Amino acid sequence: MSHLVAVLAGDGIGPEVTHEAVSVLQAVRPDLRFEEALIGGAAIDSVGEPLPAATLDLCRKASAVLLGAVGGPKWDKLEPVTLRPEVGALLPLRRELNLYANIRPAQTMTPLLHASPLKEERSKCDLIVVRELTGGIYFGQPRGRQNEGATALDTCIYHKHEVERIARRAFEIALTRRSVLVSVDKANVLETSRLWRETVDVVAQDYPQVSLSHMLVDNCAMQLIRDPGQFDVILTENMFGDILSDEASMITGSLGLLPSASLSDAKEGSVFGLYEPVHGSAPDIAGQDKANPIAAILSAAMMLDLSFSDQSGAAKIRNAVEEVLSEGIRTGDIYEEGSRLVGTKEMGRLIQSKL
């Protein structure tokens, strides 16, 4: 059976890294079909809106979505704010596709121990941040400006069912790993966090095999630096997860290494998801063959693993990445003295050659 993958390359380095990810997927799974569509600033320039209806329609009929990156200085000051790529494309895309579970793994690769800002022993980590993606302060209403712009308002809202479904997803993931889950909140201050903690405690009763603890977000930020190896699965709400997952990603050495998946519920027997590198559009190096495609390529591996139940194909991609890095091949963001510096295309080609 042929599966359709929607490819939303987007802006900045998005088209460059996405091209390499698609090439790797084609090498491993020639049965996949790919169809491209506009999103973000590229869509604004072409059709005047960041998320065209045709793009949304393609995503709805696809088995999975591969996203590059959106945004850049060119569109940062567009008015109204809903025209800007991040607000007008990413947030409604998540909402319309019901992509409520953001899965961000952060794993230290042996060849890149020196790339971590932490000392070698402390840099070792293998964790997953499970972030609620469609609720919280990014989506709460009312929001905006009052008093002729002198007052700004954002509203954080969570409903019990939103917390429950993301918690169950995190517990299920923990069961496939070391069965240790840390739920992160700010329950000493925020009412939404108190609801979060109460609900997670209730869901935990259905997973007695998983060890659950709670941690305040400021403490978690410190603990990630002090001892990232203590974490297995981190469950948290939208904004906290956004910040903590970026912090965790830098422990591994570079944002250019980290993949992510944004998942909905099962669609025709498989998990529907959008897969994208954690990094942004990096307009300062766009079009210069400098971007690291590994995060996009590993996002493609997550797609095989989670949406197509192809653990073998996913493992082949991950092993190919590790092999290339073990040979001392680096893009500029992870370059170290004595290694071989390559560009985006060459890194992609070398990874493909290992397949």
Catalytic residues: 138, 186, 218, 242, 246
For residue 345, count other CB atoms closer than 10 A to its CB.
15
Residue in 7, 37, 40 with CA at minimum distance from that of residue 22: 7
Q: Which amino acid is at 194?
A: R
Q: Which residues lie closer than 8 Å to 148 by C-beta, 6 or more apart?
A: none
Q: Does residue 293 contact residue 300 with C-beta atoms inside 8 Å?
A: no
